[in-house]
Amino acid sequence: MTEQNRQPLSAAQDATSATKRTWRQRLALAILHWLGWTLRVEMPTSPKNVITAAPHTSNWDFMYLLLLLWATNLPLNWVGKDTLFRGPMGGIMRRLGGIPVNRRVRTNFVAQIADAFQQYDRLMVVITPEGTRGKSPYWHTGFYYIALMAGVPIVLGFIDYKKRELGLGPSFRPTGNIEADFDIMRRFYADKIGQYPHSQGEIRLKPPSASP
């Protein structure tokens, strides 16, 4: 069941009145309007969420994620390879909400991120289930088990290059029945088109016989 009592947000309507928007909100909304994009957001009611970002087929997706972050004024965090945080860009990436993860060592990524939810009063982590800009034969399930373990909702974040829309859709709390919960996500994303549709992966679970 999706979360209730949500407040829709568009380019013309914010969670706060237009007079209370920050300069960054006004700038992001102006850029989206200039680019011809529409922002559609159902404001999350929970202070802690795992947000799926799909479809993910282009480096431009990150730019739109930043515009979404600034336009909504939500404290969104995102998970990235630790190599992105090296050198002088590291501090900038962290200030932009980045959480570095070392995927080259065998650590329990799900448990690490789920534990982070216990350490903060407010945390919204954006994860790309496809895991890559290239076509993936299935969705990675780490985001799902993070939300399940942490006991937080999954918010369906999206970008649709065909309609030139991006934002946050409805949310739901994972039940543990992953097949049924994936059906919810599959229906929501059915009409969402990435910049490169041929690189858009199917919303399906990894077959049991597939290698890790």
More confident residue, 101 or 175: 175
- Give the range of the structural domain holding residue 44, as residue numbers without chain letter: 8-191
Domain count for the chain: 1
| 11 band by pLDDT with thresholds 50, 70 and 90 | very low
Rounded CA separation 169/173 (Å): 14
Mean pLDDT, residues 37-64? 93
Q: Give a yes or no: residue 205 inside a domain.
A: no
Q: Mind giving me the DSSP string for 126-181?
A: EE-TT-SSS--SS---HHHHHHHHHT-PEEEEEEETTTTEEEEEEEE---S-HHHH
Q: Give a yes or no: residue 69 inside a domain.
A: yes
Q: What is the CATH number of the domain that holds 49?
A: 3.40.50
168: nearest Cα among 178, 155, 183, 179: 155
Rounded CA separation 112/108 (Å): 6
Q: Give a yes or no: residue 197 inside a domain.
A: no
Rounded CA separation 16/29 (Å): 13
pTM comes to: 0.80
Q: Give a yes or no: residue 198 inside a domain.
A: no
